[in-house]
Amino acid sequence: MSSPQRKSKTVKESIVTMTELVLPNHTNQLGNLLGGQLMQWIDICAALSASKHSQRVCVTASVDRIDFHHPIKVGNVVTIIAKVNRAFRTSMEVGVEVYAESHTEGTRIHTNTAYLTFVSVDENGKPVETFEIVPETEDEKKRFEEALQRRQKRLNEG
């Protein structure tokens, strides 16, 4: 239920897209993007999405699994797309998709998906209530429901 002072926003209002070029200092000895570097980019993009939604500073509360389906090579262009799947009282789940493009080969592949939870905080770092989110498309509605299932699983395991 929405309280009178709790405003709602749409998922599309939270979308943040980041683009990075994979340089040699981002890679291992095989010329593949370091997992830690990608995790940093994912965390930044997801934090910006949560902040855009909540209009607050947001801190990372948890990161669900990140699977690496395909290596990302030096010279690839990495596109990271983050959006809020669901907002709870002070926290929100952000879904992230990662794509690697080779402009020289003309290819684009989906390499990673991740789910992160952020908490919106005030100037003193204390959690504050965030806006509700309204899923509009079928995909957004599906992600909205799945976010609740992931949250319940996290709470049960924690």
Domain definitions of the chain by residue range: 14-157
Average pLDDT value for the chain: 94
User: How do residues 104-147 score in pLDDT, each as one tens digit?
Assistant: 999 999 999 999 999 999 999 999 999 999 999 999 999 999 99
Contact residues for 152 (Cβ-Cβ < 8 A; gap 6+): none
In the predicted model, is pLDDT for residue 20 greater than 80?
Answer: yes
What pLDDT was estimated at residue 157?
84
Q: CATH classification of 14-157, choosing from 3.40.1180.10, 3.10.129.10, 3.40.50.720, 3.40.50.12780?
A: 3.10.129.10
| Percent of the chain whose predicted confidence (pLDDT) is above 90 | 89
In the predicted model, is pLDDT for residue 40 greater than 50?
Answer: yes
| pLDDT band for position 1 (cuts 50, 70, 90) | very low
User: How do residues 68-109 score in pLDDT, each as one tens digit?
Assistant: 899 999 999 999 999 999 999 999 999 999 999 999 999 999
Strands 107-121 and 57-63: antiparallel
In the predicted model, is pLDDT for residue 56 greater than 60?
Answer: yes
Contact residues for 18 (Cβ-Cβ < 8 A; gap 6+): 41, 44, 45, 48, 79, 80, 82
What pLDDT was estimated at residue 4?
44
What pLDDT was estimated at residue 5?
58
Closest by CA to 96, choosing from 144, 47, 138, is 47
In the predicted model, is pLDDT for residue 158 greater than 80?
Answer: no
The structure tokens 């090579």 sit at 73
